[in-house]
Amino acid sequence: MDTNLGNAKLESAQRLEAVHWLINEHRFEDARSELGKLSAGVSQSGDDILIGTFHYAQAALAFHHKPPREVLGEALKAYELVSATAENRVIGRLQALLGKIYIALGDLKAGEAFIRDAISSFRRIDRDDELVGCYNKLAQLYFIRGEFKLADNFLAESLELLESLPETSELAVNKARGNRARVQILIGEWKQARQTLEGCVEVARRTGSSASEAKNLLSLGYVMYLQEEYALARQTLDRAYELIRQNNLIRERAIYHEYMGELCQALGDLRMSREHYEHAIEIGNRIAPESAIISQTERRIAELEYRVGNLALAEDHARRAREVAESVGESIEVAGADKILAALKAVDGNYAESAELFGDLIASIDHAGELRELAHAYYIAGKSLLKSDAYREAASRYLHASLRLADKLVITSLQIGCHYQFSLLEVQARQYDEALSHLSKCEAMAAEKRDDRSIEECRILRMKIEEDMVDSGLSNENEYSLFSSLLSRIEYGSLKSGSLEDTLKVLRDRLHGKRAFILSYDSVSNNFEPLAALEFDQTRLNKVTKALSNGRGGSLPLDRPLLVSHLSTDRRRMFDFLGIDDDQIDGFLSIPIQLSQDTDGLIYVDRNHDVADSFSQANLQFAIAFSDIIAFKSSEEQKRRLAEDNRRLKDQLQKQLAFPNIITSNPEMLETLERVNQVKDSSISILIEGETGTGKDLLAKALHYNSNRRDRRFVSVNCAALPETLLESELFGYKRGAFTGADGEKVGLFEEADGGTFFLDEIGDLPLSVQVKLLRVIEEKEVVRLGETTPRSVDVRIISATNADLKKAMENGEFRQDLYYRLSTFAVKLPPLRERTEDLPLLIRHFVSKLDPEVKVEPEAFRILADYNWPGNIRELENELKKLVLLAGEKKSISSYMISRRITDSLKESGHKPAEPVGDFSLYEYLGRLEREFIVEALRKAEGVKKHAAEALSIPESTLRLKMKQYHIKLDI
């Protein structure tokens, strides 16, 4: 009887052990069926251990299907039955089950106590296989608490035991390795986690476990994202999604959308990021409304909305994330939500509350050991608090802590952000050199990462820093405002006695620059002219001044200094138009200076790559202060050059207007010039008559600059261009109050021309009221200003010109007879160009050579130009040739089709035939013969020296050689 009872108990115990195995294998229906068969026999056995084991099996089975609170009573009842026995295996299992139940109920302290008791029980009987589950459960508990380092330790112990067990399956080991790798991701051991997950993926693929492969691919894609390998991360996550879809893994589908949302956010695709987060929320609400999936996704959405400035939405999502995280005991997610809430408090100006909340949440994340989240929390804290003077030091500490972790984990995006925020901190402290140093590091990393958004932000910040540096240099903060004591004796001596180049060299050397120049700027002509340059060859300097004068693509400002501390790719393109681009140049500065009331100037200094740092704040301040010295030196240099230019221009003008240089072979013109030459030094009034464009003003200037009055002023007035009231005041001047608007005294043009020549063009349009006063000037040699009665003596030689018939004007009472005879004491008349046809070839050749010596006129075009009667005379001819030379372009050839239609149409109407011969020769042949005679004569006068002959002909020597060959001219002529 006793033997049968013992055998029955043994069989029941063995069958209960089989039920335990079925439950662990998730074969719940088989386990339930087996328990139903054992129920009557176990309850009749009267054995506490057997009954307790039965109740354990019932509770373990119910734990997978019922709420934890409904299972607790069954488990405690079983534990009460066996706790006083020596059956450590059953006791340990019940302790482990109770630990799981209490953890599920949120009583982590009780849960941990039971799990640790279970570990002790299993160790007493060397049940390593049972210890594996306990270590895993402790790891889960510490994971929930956010103590990831402890969780990793227990997972490591569990994995070590699992690998040592002889009957452990490869899939079980693979699952344990994947779980540990996911914790390693959180504590920043990304390299080790990635290697492990790659192995797990391979094992899952080889064994055909597609669900396991999907889970491990998800984690692998996420760690790739953390390592900022975005393209590879996307590919891996997409591979995971295909397996998730095939196996209908609902929870993993939600995690996929979480990870993809974070990846899209990092890539700047905020629309797709929101879509993925919405999918994750929808799945989370369907399977577990109060779960980590919801809290994590809500926190990620809050971060996205905070980033784009949707602060109200950011706060709503952060509060929802915090609420769910608290309900499930996810302390790390509570801290993550608080991070956004703390940042929002700083935005509202509540810096004290923000700083306190940041302190608490950072301590919580630090305790958890999740390094990436800690690095980001430090960064957000530093970024949020740096605008507060009271918390700026704390902000700096947080940013330094963030940068240390970013360097350790190699999070480039976070390194870029930290250096950018450091730059902002230094700008607030007006430490511009340090600000630029951080910004340069930020730019270098952003360029390497090809982060266009950060590159643009850096570009904007650099321009702001440069502007702030300029403002500081212009303010009273400039320590070099009185800097003579800071210069060496040699430098100071160079300023006093040295040239402008010497002065510029002092500045260039002090700034450790490479090249420099000083330009003057004429606002009337919009032209720049170089005054001094260092390390600029003349060709490059001419290119710079031309580009600035044209304003092609922009210009250097003339109202405030410009600092370009670093010529990045985009900024280098901005300044390419200057023509000073050089791969070795890293930055430059320009400073406007005042040279006179009407003239500005510009100082430019650049710096080479071989200088480690960019221009500093001290460099800029010194340059701005020193620019006053350069302005003074430049002004003196400009005055000296202007004086030289005046002398040179006078000499040049006298040479150009010498009578022998007036282009003509017309007998009437030659006779006129001879007559004028005889009276050039006389004070006699001269009247020049002739049609518009015949060169009356040219002859007047030639008269002046070849006379004994050449060193005094030549004043020209067009009588038709000024109204009567203005003409009178301009000619004779006025005193203050002479008429409305006469706010001061004005010297008249007659007084300004004292000792020189006064040229009155279009004299026929002079009003009668002014004619009376002009007569007085001629007869009495004196003028009376408007508003005065006292005459002023003047010595002027009057030359007048007109294209009107003054005799007819006298008859009509429009011109005074006495004035006419005073003006026409010596009268000359210039013939129109149509009466000087022999001069046309000479004038055409002269103007074309003057405009561009390389341009040639094709025969047919030459014939047309020579045949036209030129009603506008020489002026019309010159304007037409200017246009034709421009149209000649690179071909350097003027063709007949380029000639204005009014000319060709006029010739057609008059029956012009281009190839019509003139005598025995065509016009071209006639001109060719004339050209040969000119060349022969020039060579004869130059005694055969081609260089001198070419100069006399105003053509290049190469052209002369070509013509000699064309006309078979020998040097023995």
Distance in angstroms (rounded) separating the CA atoms of residues 71 and 82 = 17
Stretch 292-296: mean pLDDT, rounded? 84
Higher-confidence residue of 30 and 930: namely 30
Stretch 487-506: mean pLDDT, rounded? 66
Tokens of 90: 């059953």
Give the number of other Cβ atoms within 10 Å of residue 415's Cβ.
22
pLDDT of residue 1: 41
pLDDT of residue 491: 55
For 771-795, b/e burial (b = at least 16 CB within 10 A) is bebbeebeeeeebbbbeeeeebebe
Tokens of 540: 């490059």
pLDDT of residue 353: 92
pLDDT of residue 653: 47
Considering just the CA atoms, what is the radius of gyration of the chain in Å? Answer: 50
135 close to 155: Cβ distance less than 8 angstroms: yes
Residue 135 has pLDDT above 70, yes or no: yes
pLDDT of residue 661: 61
pLDDT band at 648 (very low <50, low <70, confident <90, very high): low
pLDDT band at 484 (very low <50, low <70, confident <90, very high): very low
pLDDT band at 403 (very low <50, low <70, confident <90, very high): very high
Strand, coil or helix: 351: helix
Stretch 279-296: mean pLDDT, rounded? 83
pLDDT in tens, 652-691: 545 444 465 677 777 788 888 888 888 888 888 999 999 9
pLDDT in tens, 905-922: 888 776 655 444 433 444
pLDDT band at 342 (very low <50, low <70, confident <90, very high): very high
pLDDT in tens, 576-629: 656 666 667 888 888 888 877 666 888 999 888 777 677 888 888 888 888 877
Q: Are strands 686-689 and 797-802 parallel, antiparallel or unpaired?
A: parallel
Q: Are strands 733-734 and 782-783 parallel, antiparallel or unpaired?
A: unpaired
pLDDT band at 279 (very low <50, low <70, confident <90, very high): very high
One-character DSSP codes across 275-296:
HHHHHHHHHHHHH-SSSHHHHH
Q: Which residues contact 633 (CB under 8 A, 6 or more apart)?
A: 495, 500, 503
pLDDT band at 344 (very low <50, low <70, confident <90, very high): very high
Residue 928 has pLDDT above 80, yes or no: no
Tokens of 856: 């040639």
Distance in angstroms (rounded) separating the CA atoms of residues 24 and 266 = 41
Compute CA 441 distance to the chain's CA centroid, rounded to the nearest angstrom: 17
Residue 46, classified by CB atoms within 10 Å of its CB into exposed (0-12), middle (13-18) or buried (19+), is exposed
pLDDT of residue 197: 93
150 close to 333: Cβ distance less than 8 angstroms: no
Stretch 537-563: mean pLDDT, rounded? 76
pLDDT in tens, 857-877: 888 888 888 888 899 888 899
Compute CA 501 distance to the chain's CA centroid, rounded to the nearest angstrom: 33
Stretch 753-765: mean pLDDT, rounded? 90
pLDDT band at 351 (very low <50, low <70, confident <90, very high): very high
Distance in angstroms (rounded) separating the CA atoms of residues 182 and 205 = 19
- Name the residue among 687, 964, 695 with its Cα closest to residue 820: 687
Compute CA 176 distance to the chain's CA centroid, rounded to the nearest angstrom: 52
Stretch 198-210: mean pLDDT, rounded? 91
Higher-confidence residue of 832 and 631: namely 832
Q: Which residues contact 298 (CB under 8 A, 6 or more apart)?
A: 281, 317, 318, 320, 321, 324, 337
Residue 216 has pLDDT above 80, yes or no: yes
Residue that has been written with the tokens 């509060």 in this structure = 319
pLDDT of residue 915: 42
pLDDT of residue 203: 92
Tokens of 322: 């915090």
pLDDT in tens, 355-397: 999 999 999 888 888 888 899 999 999 999 998 889 989 999 9
pTM over 0.85: no
CA distances from 391 to 116, 375, 385 (A): 45, 19, 6
Residue 649 has pLDDT above 60, yes or no: no
pLDDT of residue 431: 87
The mean pLDDT of the chain is 83
Distance in angstroms (rounded) separating the CA atoms of residues 193 and 214 = 16
762 close to 815: Cβ distance less than 8 angstroms: no
Q: Which residues contact 729 (CB under 8 A, 6 or more apart)?
A: 738, 739, 746, 748, 786
Strand, coil or helix: 909: helix
